[in-house]
């Protein structure tokens, strides 16, 4: 059963270049500005992946201006992890890091095991298929957790 939208959600994955930016963008598209949504990675050593940009554009979700950032960078920029109502980890490493950082806060951390499409598939179409699968997993989790987007 779908739960009410929290006031703020932080998505996290390994590099903030594929899964967490897709989740951030899709959630913003689906649920508007009622919830403050951000994303981070354990590392920020990669730029947004072009395949993520392409498959999200198919849903009219704009990711090309996304700038990857890490948990550490988030804190340096003044975003306090404790100010989020919910952290959703999309990879085992990000789940571990989120639990480590939130052990002193009353903060929910959920784990959604989302396929990492990087390195999968030979050729452009095969790669797009893998990225669409990850995008669709994220979409299903969002709808299962927060209900169908208004107007859909």
| Both tokens assigned to 15 | 């590099």
pLDDT of residue 107: 80
Q: Which residues of 19-46 are buried (b: 16+ CB within 10 A; e: fewer)?
A: bbbbbbbbbbbbbeeebebbbbbbbbee
pLDDT in tens, 63-85: 988 888 888 888 777 677 778 89
With vertex at residue 38, the alpha carbon angle to CA 36 and CA 39, rounded to the nearest 5 degrees, is: 160
H helices present in the chain, as ranges = 19-31, 50-57, 71-76, 92-102, 124-146
pLDDT of residue 2: 66
Q: Where are the domains of the chain?
A: 8-146
Quick check: 106 pLDDT over 80?
Answer: no
Report the predicted TM-score, pTM, of the whole model to 2 decimal places. 0.91
- Give the single-character DSSP code of 122: S
Quick check: 1 pLDDT over 60?
Answer: no
pLDDT of residue 80: 74
CATH topology of domain 8-146: Rossmann fold (3.40.50)
**Cβ-based neighbours of 78, under 8 Å, separated by 6 or more:** none
């Amino acid at each position: 059963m779908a739960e009410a939208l929290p006031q703020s959600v932080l998505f996290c994955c390994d590099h903030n270049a594929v899964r967490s930016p897709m989740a951030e963008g899709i959630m913003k598209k689906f649920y508007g500005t009622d919830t403050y949504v951000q994303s981070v990675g354990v590392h920020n050593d990669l730029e947004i992946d072009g395949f993520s940009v392409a498959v999200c554009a198919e849903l009219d979700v704009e990711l090309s201006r996304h700038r990857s950032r890490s948990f550490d960078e988030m804190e340096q920029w003044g975003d306090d992890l404790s100010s989020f109502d919910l952290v959703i980890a999309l990879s085992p490493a990000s789940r571990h890091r989120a639990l480590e950082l939130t052990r002193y806060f009353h903060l929910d951390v959920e784990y959604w095991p989302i396929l990492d499409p990087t390195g999968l598939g030979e050729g452009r179409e095969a790669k797009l298929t893998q990225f669409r699968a990850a995008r669709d997993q994220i979409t299903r989790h969002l709808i299962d957790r927060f209900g169908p987007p208004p107007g859909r």
